[in-house]
Amino acid sequence: MKLSNRKVLITGGAGFIGSNLIERFLKQENRIVCLDNFATGKKENIEPFLKNPNFKLIEGDIRDLQTCREACGDVEIVLHQAALGSVPRSIKDPVSTNEVNIGGFVNMLQAVREAGIKRFVYAASSSTYGDHPTLPKVEDRIGRPLSPYAVTKYVNELYANVFSDLYGIETIGLRYFNVFGRRQDPNGAYAAAIPKFIKLLINHESPYIFGDGEQSRDFTYIDNVIMANELAASTTNPAALNTVYNVAFGEATTVNELIDVLKENLSKFDPEIAKVTATKGDKRIGDILHSLASIDKARKLLGYDPQYSIKSGLEEAIAWYWESLK
SS3 193: helix
For strand 253-254 and strand 216-217, is the pairing parallel, antiparallel, or unpaired? antiparallel
| Torsion from C-alpha of 256, 220, 20, 191, nearest 10 degrees | -30
CA 269 – CA 136 distance, rounded (Å) = 35
**Taking the CB of residue 44, how many other CB atoms lie within 10 A of it?**
10
User: What angle is formed at CA 60 by the lines to CA 324 and CA 90, rounded to 5 degrees?
Assistant: 70
Classify the C-alpha dihedral 34-239-131-163 as positive or negative: positive
CA 249 – CA 291 distance, rounded (Å) = 12
176 classed as catalytic: no
Q: b or e along 94-121 (b: 16 or more beta carbons within 10 Å of the residue's beta carbon)?
A: eeebbbbbbebbbbbbbbbbebebebbb
CA 127 – CA 153 distance, rounded (Å) = 8
Contact 43, 14 (CB under 8 A): yes
- Choose the catalytic residue: 149, 159, 176, 304: 149
Q: b or e along 300-316 (b: 16 or more beta carbons within 10 Å of the residue's beta carbon)?
A: ebbebebebbbeebbee
CA 138 – CA 121 distance, rounded (Å) = 19
Contact 243, 172 (CB under 8 A): yes
Q: Report residue 79 CA to chain centroid gap.
A: 11
Residues recognised as catalytic: 149
